[in-house]
Amino acid sequence: MKMTEKTETHANVECVEKELEFTALYRWQHWIRALSIVVLVITGFYIATPIISSAPNSEPTSFMYALFRSWHIIFGFVLIAVVILKSYLFIFARENKGERISFGDMLSVKTWIKQIGYYMLVSKHPKLKGVYNPLQFAAYGGFYLMILILVITGLILYVHVFHDGLSALIYIPMRFIEELVGGLAVARMLHHVTMWGVILFILVHIYLAIFNAIFGKEGGMDAIFSGLKWHKKH
């Protein structure tokens, strides 16, 4: 959806085109996913190294560790649900066609060179067919690969704690994958190391979002809030 506004500046007439880049559903799943990751990182750190504990008392109510673990599991399944939704939108949603087209931009060596030059402040931003530049698309691919590793290793750890319901259904395949990766200790290590990869991705993601908002001046960061991106035409 495109809307065009005109503003006069001295001798030039500047056309500003507003384009809907992200739908409301896309924006909601993005922020729910972001919240889930923040909660999972905080609770995951506590589960690995409990740094606080409840005040001791004579009643069996001091279950701080169990509380953190329960929130970790709840938001783990929230993350799984949101990633499934995001995958569906990427593959099937007509409104997300621009994301799929971005795969073609990632295969262009010329676009890669221009994009790297743009981040080094030596060239202009390349003309893109999709909504993501090559570095973004490749980074998102790596991000979802890490999420997949976190989900699988998390489910492996999950079936060792709970034994009924969903855990009983996925127990055998998760134990099989556990053996493939080298055992429970390796699965736990992969879960922890991959978490650091996600943290690093988030830091770089925020930095580049701010970079594009400042130098791109097309509302690149605003789009994830409003859904709109601005394009200037003279």
pLDDT band at 196 (very low <50, low <70, confident <90, very high): very high
Task: List the Cα angle 96/100/101 in 5-degree steps.
Answer: 110
Whole-angstrom Cα distance, residue 194 to residue 108? 29
In a domain, 146, yes or no: yes
Shortest CA distance to 215 belongs to which of 98, 100, 112, 133?
A: 133
CATH number at residue 28: 1.20.950.20
Whole-angstrom Cα distance, residue 11 to residue 108? 37
Q: What percent of the chain has pLDDT over 70?
A: 85
Cα-based distances in Å from 47 to 52, 139, 159: 11, 28, 16
- So what's the pLDDT on residue 219? 62
In a domain, 3, yes or no: no
Question: Which of 84 and 228 is assigned the larger pLDDT?
Answer: 84
- So what's the pLDDT on residue 216? 67
Q: What's the average model confidence in pLDDT over 94-120?
A: 87
When computed from its CA atoms, the radius of gyration of the chain, rounded to whole angstroms, is 22
- b/e 92-114 (16+ beta carbons within 10 angstroms → b): ebeebeebeebeebbeeeebbeb
| Helix (DSSP H) and strand (DSSP E) numbers for the chain | 8, 3
In a domain, 98, yes or no: yes
Whole-model pTM? 0.83
- So what's the pLDDT on residue 59? 67
In a domain, 71, yes or no: yes
Q: What's the average model confidence in pLDDT over 51-74?
A: 80
In a domain, 84, yes or no: yes
- So what's the pLDDT on residue 11? 44
pLDDT band at 124 (very low <50, low <70, confident <90, very high): confident
Q: What's the average model confidence in pLDDT over 92-110?
A: 87
In a domain, 131, yes or no: yes
For CA atoms 166, 169, 171, 177, give the dihedral sign.
Answer: negative
Whole-angstrom Cα distance, residue 199 to residue 90? 23
Domain that holds residue 86: 24-53+62-216
Rounded to 5 degrees, what are φ and ψ at 36? -60, -45
Beta bridge partners of 4: 17
- So what's the pLDDT on residue 10? 47
In a domain, 126, yes or no: yes
Rounded to 5 degrees, what are φ and ψ at 121? 65, 30
Question: Which of 40 and 107 is assigned the larger pLDDT?
Answer: 40
Tokens representing 48?
């690995």
In a domain, 9, yes or no: no
Whole-angstrom Cα distance, residue 185 to residue 161? 15
Whole-angstrom Cα distance, residue 149 to residue 154? 8
For the chain, the domain total comes to 1
